[in-house]
Structure 1
Amino acid sequence: MHEDFLKENDPHSCLKKNKEMFCDSFKDVFNQRDQSQKKAEEFTKQCLKPAVENFVYSKVGPDILHEMRKQSQFIARVYSQYDILLDLLSNHNFSEYVRYIRSYEVYVKKWILDQTVKHLSKDSKMFELVDQHLDSSISSIKAAIHKATKKTSTDLKTFINNFCQELGDTLVISQDALGDFMMLNKANQEQFAHWFTEFVNKMVKALKQEFKKRDIQSILNHLDVKPQNELFTQVIGCGKQCPFCAVACVSGGGNHSVHEAPLHRPQGLNGYRRINTQKLVTNICSSSVVSDRQFICDATKGEMIFYKRYKEIFSDWNIPADGSYEASDYWKYVMATFNEEFAKEHSAKPADIPTTWKDITRLQAQQSLKDSFNMN
């Protein structure tokens, strides 16, 4: 950290970085030439433009969040979950199921990001939001220039300080860039204000073109507010997964101490197997926790534990104990369809799939999904 500070503030590095600008300014001062036009251009490019870009990035993030919350899949958690599982079923891609089951939060945030890019690509929606804030910032800049010219300024430094004061917190101009700009200047304030306004107009036109050339993903990467993170927090809430079947907690956001999910899925999807045969299991957690079966995992440190005592290991989970519960036809279909693939993924043997599971069609799996989320 100390070395980074010295490198950033090293006079020799600063001089080298701004050598050309300092040289030109020195020549102007030595030859007593007015620097108004040149200084106005320098200030606009080096100080103002980065501040305007940062302003846009700070404002567009919340706007995108507001825009996405109006879309049907982000009104409530149930709609997001339904759409994600429907996409998985439609894509029929085993690798996607693995990513969803193993890394639920990562997968869902990527899905949210993809949905955001897809929506913002329609009708140039992203650039409408960008232009709105570009125009807003330019209005503030021009108003600040006008007010600064009304004040008495003995030199350019005073004028710029007045300008920055009028801007207030609207735009944050880098003090480093401002310090470099203030060195060796000889400019007429009225002429500077005139050229400043001219270059501001050129800057906003250039920025609008630059933003339109940037892809939406790169713009999202620069935002202070990351839509995928905020939408996950606001809509999905909790990303904790059941230690047995990896189903996600449905308790939403907030500081809940106990995680739960009303519908669990076959544990074999998450790699659980019978110890003696190494075959993936088709049991769901609700029936396991009322059985005499045992489990072993990293959390038990090699010790066999009865499912009935799962809370001794996973005290933050509440699994509904009911032997009559079954997996939904959706997950029965997924496990039956990809049984061999799941076994290979988890270095296990394929599960003994019930015959009735093998008869479930994709259309029936889709209907099961609608029933589970009350989408009929």
Structure 2
Amino acid sequence: MFSSHVTYSSKLTLYAKVMEDLFEKRDFGMYIRFINDTNTAMESWIKMYVSDYCFEIVESGKNRLEKQANEILEDSIEALIKCVKKNSLSTKDISFQVWLQNFYNCAQGIVPFSETVFDLFDMKEVEVTDFIQFEKKVIKNLEEVQKSHERIFRTGNLESLNSLVEKPHISLAKNILGCTKRCPLCYVTCIKTSDHPGEHSAPYHYPLGVAGYHDEKTKELMMETCNVLCAGELSFRNYDTYHKWYKYKDYRSVDEYYKSWNIAPNTSLEASLYWQWVFCQFYKEFAEYHMAKCNKIPLKWKNIVEEDVKNSIKIKFNDSS
């Protein structure tokens, strides 16, 4: 489902899938959570996608994670048991500490053991006097470890992913999401990589009404994008400006964070077909949420065909799948 080779377009592809999911669910609360905290929302979607992939039944009633984990566990446990038997004290006149060191050396290529090896065996601070019984105890506990982990992976739920040392959904989120800085005006997320040089940018911006911007006289939510407004003479104020008025085209003068964003002024870059549709679907909810009004939706927005919205997602995010 996800490639280990993360490319610039993989973030766009993920966005497309999230947009499709939101489109299908048509839940205003989910849209608000996505707009207000895109990073957390995207991490949740990644976890869901990874979970669906890992727990898909692939063979003999086993899910993909269970099948692969069991194969690795079986080989590892078998190799560790061989290490135990290889270092048997029953026929060697050596101390327990020497036996333990030999076991470490043998097991290092199998699992990354540390000095807490007794935690695994449940033998912490035990005085070993009967080495044959000790070896049996170690082997029994290794077999129990295998059974325990098999049960965890068999459950097929999100907690199984959290039990892994390297959690795939977290690793993927770090690689795929890239830069998570948001436009200081409409809240759209920067599309670049996490360590990108230069300014933040996005290929499109939301209509400012989704972030609550409205005409202070009429209270009407604004339909224009940041690009359109930065090409004009209108002004804004918010918490960041300490409610002092700034022209949109002078947004960089607010502070260093605003200055770090490159919002290209362009009167033709209106809201995408997708967000026009979202606005039409939830204009009452947006107005209520932002304690504003939304009575002047353009007629062409109201006439958008849903099939065109779905197609626009693939075009907008360059998703050829």
TM beyond 0.5: yes
Match of 2:51 in 1: 117
Q: 1:279 aligns with which of 200, 217, 220?
A: 220
Which of 231, 234, 256 does residue 293 from structure 1 map onto? 234
Q: Deviations over 1:331-354 (max 9, x none)?
A: 111111111101111122225211
1:258 equivalenced with 2:199 (yes/no):
yes
* Among 289, 295, 308, the residue aligned to 1:345: 289
Matches within 5 A, 1:204-353: 206-313=147-254, 314-353=258-297
Distance 2:164 2:124 in 1: 27
What SS is found at the alignment partner of 1:115?
helix
Aligned AA for 2:37? Answer: S
Q: Per-residue deviation at 1:155?
A: 3.9
Out of 263-272 and 149-158, give the one that drifted further: 149-158
Moved more, 147-156 or 271-280: 147-156
Post-superposition shift, 1:118? 1.0
User: In the TM superposition, what whole-angstrom CA distance separates every residue of 1:79-110 from its partner, at most 9, and x where no partner exists?
Assistant: 11111111111111111111111110000000
Shift of 1:115: 0.7
Could you say if the C-alpha distance between residues 179 and 356 of structure 1 is closer, same or farther in structure 2, counting changes exceeding 3 Å? closer
Shift of 1:173: 5.0
Partner Cα separation in structure 2 for residue 74 and residue 231 of structure 1: 13
The one of 48, 61, 80 aligned to 2:14: 80
Equivalences, count: 308
| Residue 152 (structure 1) shift | 4.1
Q: Secondary structure at the match of 2:252?
A: helix
Structure of larger gyration radius: 1
Deviation for aligned residue 1:162: 2.8
* Offset at residue 200 of structure 1 (A): 5.1
Paired letter, 1:116: V
TM-score, with length taken from structure 1: 0.74
Question: 2:178 is matched by which residue type in structure 1?
Answer: G
Match of 1:140 in 2: 79
Question: Percentage identity across aligned positions?
Answer: 24
- Structure-2 residue corresponding to 1:163: 103
Which residue in 1 is equivalent to 2:60? none
Amino acid at match of 1:292: E
- Give the Cα–Cα distance (whole angstroms) in 2 for the partners of residues 75 and 267 of structure 1: 26
* Contact 2:81–2:139 (8 Å) recurs in 1: no
Q: Which residue of 2 aligns with 1:42?
A: none
Unaligned 5+ residue runs, structure 1?
Answer: 1-66
- Cα distance change on mapping 1:242 and 1:196 into 2, 3 Å: same
Kindly tell me: are residues 135 and 190 of structure 1, through their superposed partners in 2, closer, same or farther at Cα, counting changes over 3 Å?
same
Indicate how the Cα distance of structure 1 residues 191 and 244 shifts in structure 2: closer, same or farther if over 3 A, else same: closer
Matching residue within 113, 116, 119 for 1:174? 116
Normalized per residue, the structure richer in helix is 1
Shift in CA distance, 325/91, structure 1 to aligned 2, threshold 3 Å: same
TM-score, normalised on structure 2? 0.85
Relative to 1, partners in 2 of residues 1:153 and 1:244: Cα closer, same or farther, differing over 3 Å?
farther
